[in-house]
Amino acid sequence: MTIHGLLSIIAGLLLAPLLQGIVNRTKAVFAGRRGAPLLQQYRDIARLLRKGAVFSGTTTWIFRLAPSITLACALVALVVLAPAPVEQGWGFAGDALLLAYALGLARFLTVAAALDTGSSFEGMGASREVLYSALAEPALLVGIAVLARVSGGTSLASILQGAGVTGWVSAGTALALVGVSFFVVLLAENSRVPFDDPNTHLELTMVHEVMVLDSSGPDFALVTYGASLKLWVFSVLFASLAVSPLGLSGFALLGALTAAVLFTGVIVGTVESTMARSSLARAPLLLAGACALSILAFILASRFLS
């Protein structure tokens, strides 16, 4: 049993809402405001947990089930992404697919719950969510395939850590392209600018926020915490790739990884402050661009390594 693998999971559980706070603080600094406290989301979640929930008469058990399953899926993704196996036989061959499909199941239930409310606005948000994720998934999976090709590993921990220094020397350009692709997927999957503006409360333009309009009280606390965990999971994916050329292991890796994840929040905030939200018609083009980068990286990696 390795202690730093366990610590990385605990760090994710504890620090995920802080990451949202860092993104919001970065945006506030860019706009010249003082902004909400870094720990605001912890307070929001605590406040929501104390409240009672209201359920619309049109909803069924799906709506009540969705928040907990969504959170559970995000937890599975977090556990799979731990940089070192916590126990013997923890990581297994092909657990990258488990990561992708745990997130897919979470998305399916969020979308089903949104449709369950019978609101036309939530239906529009659900439709956009499915469109974006259908385009983001190939970019993610091909990107992971590139990392597997470069590192020669088949479990997620070995894929992310195995690229290492030798991988960057032999196929550095391919790995850099995958990094860019992962970042675009991060923005799309977490409904950030330029795909969606998390600050707007205009139902016509939202993606994630509009799907959870009907959730309230403890349910909404679970949804909010699940969304933070999802942002953390994608940031870990991006940050692991970013720190892999340092060739660290053990506690040094854990520290560098956590710092890199929190810094990813700063990058996301910077992107959100400097870019405009792109129109709905352009978003698929951006995601197709991310797919193009992943596939180009795959072709390059196969060529460089053969």
State the residues that interact with other proteins by CB under 8 A: 173, 177, 284-285, 288-289, 291-293, 295-296, 299-300, 303-304
- Min dist CB 275 to other proteins, Å, is 15
The C-alpha atoms of residue 292 and residue 178 are separated, in whole angstroms, by: 10
Q: CA distances (Å), 62 to each of 76, 113, 216, in order?
A: 20, 6, 15
Of residues 198, 181, 197, 206, the one with CA closest to residue 287: 181
Q: How far is the CB of 304 from other proteins (least distance, A)?
A: 8
| C-beta closer to other proteins: residue 134 or 259 | 134
What does each C-alpha distance from 90 to 81, 93, 103, 156, 158 come to in angstroms? 11, 10, 19, 11, 12
Phi, psi dihedrals of residue 202, rounded to the nearest 5°:
-105, 110
Cβ 298 to other proteins, closest distance in Å? 10
DSSP state of 245: G
Given the complex with other proteins, which of 177 and 243 has the nearer CB atom? Answer: 177
Residue (69 or 291) nearer to other proteins, CB: 291
Distance (Å, whole) CA 162 – CA 175: 12
Shortest Å distance, C-beta 178 to other proteins:
12
Tell the smallest beta-carbon distance from residue 302 to other proteins (Å).
Answer: 8
Cβ–Cβ < 8 Å for 290, 139: yes
Spatial contact of 56 and 117, defined as CB atoms under 8 Å apart:
yes
Q: Which amino acid is at 60?
A: T
Instruction: Report the candidate in 78, 248, 68 with the shortest Cα–Cα distance to residue 156.
Output: 78
How far is C-alpha 11 from the geometric centre of its chain's CA atoms?
16
- When the beta carbons of 106 and 242 are compared against other proteins, the nearer one is 242
Q: Which of 162, 165, 143, 164 is nearest to 154 (CA)?
A: 162
Nearer to other proteins, 45 or 180 (CB): 180
SS3 129: helix
* Pick 136 or 256: Cβ nearer other proteins: 136
- Residue 140 makes CB contacts below 8 A (sequence gap 6+) with 100, 182, 185, 294
Q: How far is the CB of 276 from other proteins (least distance, A)?
A: 14
Query: Nearer to other proteins by C-beta: 88 or 306?
Result: 306
Q: Nearest distance from residue 282's CB to other proteins, in Å?
A: 8
Nearer to other proteins, 275 or 285 (CB): 285
* Residue 117 CB, nearest approach to other proteins (Å): 31
